[in-house]
Amino acid sequence: MHILHQPVSRLVAALLLALPVSAVSAAAAKAPPEPATLYAGATVIDGTGAEPRPDQDILVRGERIVAVGPHGTLAGSHDAGVHTVDLHGSYVIPGLIDSHVHLATPPNAKRAQAILRRNLYAGVTAVRDMADDLRSSGELTREARTGEIPSPDIYYAAVMAGPEFFADPRVAAASYGVTPGQSPWMQSIDEKTDLREAVTLARGTSATAIKVYADLPPDLVKNITAEAHRQHIMVWAHSAVFPTRPTDVINAGVDVVSHACYLAYQLEPVMLKNYEDHTPFHDALLAPTGDDPTIAGLYRDMVKHGTILDATGWLFVKYDAERKAHPERKPLRCTGPTTIRLVRQAWQAGVPISTGTDSDGGYKGVWPSVYDEIDFLAHDVGMPSLQVIRSATLVGAQAAGQAKDMGSIEAGKLANFAVLSADPVKDIDNLRSIRLTVKRGHEYPRSHYKPITKEEMGDDDDD
């Protein structure tokens, strides 16, 4: 090796590798302490659903919260070198989490980075990527984690589905260069598949979870879930994996189900044979008033299993409203009113609901789509603000399998939070008063946000 011609970082790494372990340990012990910041005097809304706590201090060292407590009481908060940020009159909530995004179908790094930037500067500190070309998602995840790009942290899924699904053009776009269904991140599964090997291949992509997508019978949904859990990886699924009914998906033990709308298919006397059949749910099958008893049974099972609902409700309500102006458009699987009704019943039954969007929004949008899902839960479903915030933070962290590190403001967790000028409990729309995002201890002032441009979004614009 010609050491003098190596980049500095590689030179340092080479020298460290040449040192004995004891010398490296000694050098680490002498390293200067991580920088500390005291965020002082804010009203803390911790994400657990607890009442706001006024006049609180948050002590952050490095990327983690050291302590939270009444103003002026935290040990170490007055030590030399601690930087203080006065937040009197401000409100602090945990970083928001969008539990349903798609960043790379097909891969477009410029577009993805623009959307991620918009999320971060609006207080979103983590997202759950629900199926993409994981070659691209993996690089975005690395860049987000190292701070090379302004972005929430990313937790992504590898897809498993029945053979019929892999004619979907989205699969070809997300697995270019590989035969559809044969990539580790999008696998075709049938009764002959070695599930132990399939799950191992999926884990090799560094995925957080396997997404059980479509065209799988109940026995395979159950067996995939069991093998994934045996290998300590989560399972995220559509709430109906046509032809598998919602009750079989839930009782298979999956961790999270997406799309409240699909739960309604439990009521259909004849289940759709495959995902590709987009026949809408027949609204008249729901009980005419009050809670539907069949749906209530599903929600009891979800509560029993601890299954999280990634509702994606705003998407259906928005599209339903757009069809009134454009009746020529084909309907989605559910109407807006049916979706609202299903999500409201889930919330009232005690089902944990996360804020997933399944939509990026157009380049003209100032705020990320998760704000629309939050508005849906608050204004359409009727959830109180504290419960909506919990859905958008702690429940989202649970859905991503990251609750030990994020989702609430407490000692030991990552310093992921948003600073607001107005009270979001009084009015959830006050989330738009954000003036600072802190992610892993790094500050991203709202005033530094650069809006998305048409050139960044290109032709693939949701507007």
Concatenate the DSSP letters of all residues of 408-446 into one string. Answer: S--TTSB--EEEESS-TTT-GGGGGGEEEEEETTEEEEG
pLDDT for the residue 388: 98
Q: For residue 436, is pLDDT > 70?
A: yes
The DSSP H or E segment spanning 100 is strand 96-101
Tens of pLDDT, residues 186-224 = 999 999 999 999 999 999 999 999 999 999 999 999 999
Domains detected in the chain: 35-94+408-447 (2.30.40.10), 96-406 (3.20.20.140)
The pLDDT of residue 463: 45
Lowest mean pLDDT of 108-117, 208-217, 302-311, 319-328, name the range.
Answer: 319-328
Residue 404: pLDDT over 70: yes
| Amino acid found at 129 | D
In this structure, are strands 64-70 and 256-258 parallel, antiparallel, or unpaired? Answer: unpaired
Calculate ∠ Cα 357-359-365, nearest 5°: 105
- The residue among 438 and 364 whose pLDDT is bigger is 438
Collect all residues with Cβ–Cβ distance below 8 Å to 260 and sequence separation of at least 6. 239, 309, 311, 312, 313, 339, 342, 343, 346
Least confident segment among 108-112, 253-257, 324-328 = 324-328
Tokens of 329: 């458009």
Please count the other Cβ atoms lying within 10 Å of the Cβ belonging to residue 297: 13
| Alpha-helical runs (H) found in 129-277 | 134-146, 169-174, 195-203, 218-230, 246-251, 260-263
Position 364 scores a pLDDT of: 84
pLDDT attached to residue 1: 38
Q: Strand (E) positions, 106-166?
A: 124-129, 153-161
Distance between CA 432 and CA 404 in Å, rounded? 27
CA distance 255 to 360: 24
Percentage with pLDDT > 90 across the chain? 89
Q: Is the pLDDT of residue 24 over 60?
A: no
pLDDT in tens, 228-273: 999 999 999 999 999 999 999 999 999 999 999 999 999 999 999 9
Cβ neighbours of 148 (radius 10 Å): 12
CA-wise closest residue to 336 among 257, 281, 383, 396:
281
Provide mean pLDDT across the span 100-121: 97
Which amino acid makes up residue 328? E
Average pLDDT over residues 363-385: 96
Is the distance from CB of 415 to CB of 440 less than 8 angstroms? yes
Q: What mean pLDDT is predicted for residues 82-94?
A: 98
Q: What is the pTM of this model?
A: 0.92
Question: Across all residues in the chain, what is the average pLDDT?
Answer: 93
| 3 band by pLDDT with thresholds 50, 70 and 90 | very low
Q: Is the per-residue pLDDT at 284 higher than 60?
A: yes
Whether 386 shows a pLDDT value over 50: the answer reads yes
**Pairing of β 209-212 and β 64-70:** unpaired
Residue 225: φ, ψ to 5°? -60, -45
The pLDDT score that the predictor gives to residue 179 is 96
Pick the residue with more confidence: 18 or 317?
A: 317
Predicted pLDDT of residue 132: 97
- Residue 127, φ and ψ in degrees, nearest 5: -140, 155
Strand (E) or helix (H) holding 321:
helix 313-325
